[in-house]
Homo-oligomer: A and B are copies of this chain.
Amino acid sequence: MTSPLRLGIAGIGTVGTGTIRILQRHADLLEARGGRPIEIKAVSSRNRNKDRGVRLGEYEWEDDPVALARRDDIDVFVELIGGEDGPAKDAVEAAIEAGHDVVTANKALLAHHGQALAERAEAQGAVLRFEAAVAGGIPCVKALTEGLAGNEITRVMGVMNGTCNYILTRMESAGLTYDQVFAEASELGYLEADPTLDVGGIDAGHKLALLASIAFGTKVDFDGVALEGIERIKIEDIRHAADMGFAVKLLGVAQMTGRGLEARMSPCLVPQTSPLGQLDGATNMVVLDGDAVGQVVLRGAGAGEGPTASAVLSDIVDIARGNRVSTFGQPAARLVPARRAEAATPAPFYLRMVLTDRPGALAKIAARLGEAGISIDRMRQYDHTEGSAPVLIVTHRAMRRALDEAIDAMADTGVLEGEIVALRIEDV
């Protein structure tokens, strides 16, 4: 075990640079902890000549990540390219075929192809690990897979997209509109190249799908995650929520119900005084409920060079130490298909809409809710202007399906201006 662990690192962007920096700075510490030297053998990236502020000259260079993945002088292929298909997928597949262990930070790749990749890796006797793909520096994959291995997990919950949490908390603290903060986040470089990955809840949905697979022993089922983004949240939603003692968070919840696995990633109202409600800025939080342990809450930086590289190193040191845990905590071939239970648990909902100001408009809306079996906890008309009347409604506990039926029926009344914003209220 004193032979070095040889790495091939593909993708030298933010996370790749951070990973190389740690490997250079802490070589002795990592050798002590891993029980053997950990060496970078070769690297690959799109642009060889870019100055990344880190020494690369001592490593062999491959222009093609697939060629790097196939080298027979590496033990672990570290995939930090990103993207659900293309070179990242090709290279990871090539590495597995070559029998190499793989460490990746790529949630999109795993959310779409993780099941097939994990099965293939296991058939090859290789490990495929992804701590850095979920919640940045928070060691939540390890906590769930290993730390809570004695538990039947009942629920996985979390705020797992720092950009969305930054936008929502900044709207609240600075009193800015969604568009203003979105522009600000874009300037700061907080957004993905395709920002709908962030604000559409897709990136966070990828992460939730991966955690759900470990938690419930089910095949990765990203398509089973009910996704809603934060694009329709207005500053007035955040203010109404605050008036009622709630904060708006893009919250992921996966839980096993009597009807199957319910998984959703959507903006929700959570109590301001709860740990989730108090989570500010780009920080992430993962909440794990187990039958023996009760609730464990993990908080930390969800993105950034250092935190994400820290997670990559966790997987690399594990491999150096000989920890060969399965990708999803048990053999991928044993995972069962997730039986999808859409919106199986009821909750109160917050509704905001604008009505045309004419007699009986509000009565029509209330009637549609009543017909769907949904009772109203409180209702308030506010900021009334000539011609239009904004309305805020909080329902009693209702099923999402019934609510969606009511919303469809409301649209047919002809008294609505624009769309209804409907946010689940989670008493977490």
Residue numbers of A with Cβ under 8 A of B are 18, 22, 26, 29-30, 32-35, 131, 137-139, 142-143, 146-152, 217, 275, 290-301, 304, 306-307, 309-314, 316-318, 321-326, 329-331, 334
**Nearest chain B CB to A247's CB is how many angstroms away?**
15
Option from B293, B306, B317, B323 in Cβ contact (under 8 Å) with A137: B293
Q: Please give, as numbers and ranges, the residues of chain B lying within 8 Å of A321 by CB-CB distance.
A: 323-325
Contact A306 B324, CB 8 Å, known A147-B143, A149-B313, A150-B314: no
Q: Please give, as numbers and ranges, the residues of chain B lying within 8 Å of A26 by CB-CB distance.
A: 150, 152
Give bound CA distance, A314 to B145, whole Å: 9
Decide: B147 and A142 in contact? CB cutoff 8 A.
Answer: yes
Contact A299 B300, CB 8 Å, known A146-B314, A152-B26, A322-B324: no
Name 8 interchain pairs, CB-CB below 8 A, sorted by A: A137-B292, A139-B148, A142-B146, A150-B311, A150-B312, A293-B301, A294-B301, A321-B323
Give bound CA distance, A126 to B260, whole Å: 42
Decide: B147 and A131 in contact? CB cutoff 8 A.
Answer: yes
Interface of A is mostly: mixed
**Nearest chain B CB to A132's CB is how many angstroms away?**
10
Decide: A292 and B143 in contact? CB cutoff 8 A.
Answer: no
* Most interface-central of A22, A34, A301, A314 (chain B CB within 10 A): A314
3 interchain residue pairs of minimum CB distance: A150-B313, A139-B147, A137-B293
Option from B295, B317, B330 in Cβ contact (under 8 Å) with A32: B330
Decide: A148 and B323 in contact? CB cutoff 8 A.
Answer: no
Give bound CA distance, A223 to B304, whole Å: 39
Option from B137, B151, B298, B329 in Cβ contact (under 8 Å) with A298: B298
**Nearest chain B CB to A118's CB is how many angstroms away?**
14
Q: Please give, as numbers and ranges, the residues of chain B lying within 8 Å of A313 by CB-CB distance.
A: 149-151, 292
Decide: A300 and B296 in contact? CB cutoff 8 A.
Answer: yes
Q: Please give, as numbers and ranges, the residues of chain B lying within 8 Å of A325 by CB-CB distance.
A: 321, 323
Decide: A296 and B299 in contact? CB cutoff 8 A.
Answer: yes
**Nearest chain B CB to A272's CB is how many angstroms away?**
12
Option from B139, B142, B150, B316 in Cβ contact (under 8 Å) with A22: B150
Contact A293 B300, CB 8 Å, known A148-B310, A217-B32, A313-B149: yes
Closest residue to A304 on the B side, CB-wise? B294
Q: Please give, as numbers and ranges, the residues of chain B lying within 8 Å of A329 by CB-CB distance.
A: 33
Contact A309 B322, CB 8 Å, known A22-B150, A143-B147, A152-B26: no
* Most interface-central of A138, A147, A152, A312 (chain B CB within 10 A): A147
Give bound CA distance, A364 to B258, whole Å: 71
Closest residue to A19 on the B side, CB-wise? B150
**Nearest chain B CB to A312's CB is how many angstroms away?**
7
Q: Please give, as numbers and ranges, the residues of chain B lying within 8 Å of A152 by CB-CB distance.
A: 26, 29
Contact A306 B322, CB 8 Å, known A142-B143, A147-B143: no
Decide: A297 and B296 in contact? CB cutoff 8 A.
Answer: no
Closest residue to A143 on the B side, CB-wise? B139
Decide: B307 and A300 in contact? CB cutoff 8 A.
Answer: no
Give bound CA distance, A74 to B323, whole Å: 22
Closest residue to A317 on the B side, CB-wise? B149
Give bound CA distance, A146 to B330, whole Å: 19
Closest residue to A294 on the B side, CB-wise? B301
Closest residue to A26 on the B side, CB-wise? B152
In addition to A294-B304, A297-B297, 12 A-B residue pairs with Cβ atoms within 8 Å of each other are A32-B217, A147-B311, A149-B318, A275-B275, A275-B299, A292-B306, A294-B306, A297-B300, A321-B324, A322-B322, A323-B323, A323-B325
Q: Please give, as numbers and ranges, the residues of chain B lying within 8 Å of A18 by CB-CB distance.
A: 292
Decide: B306 and A146 in contact? CB cutoff 8 A.
Answer: no
Decide: A317 and B22 in contact? CB cutoff 8 A.
Answer: no
Closest residue to A131 on the B side, CB-wise? B147
Q: Please give, as numbers and ranges, the residues of chain B lying within 8 Å of A317 by CB-CB distance.
A: 146, 149-150
Give bound CA distance, A311 to B151, whole Å: 10
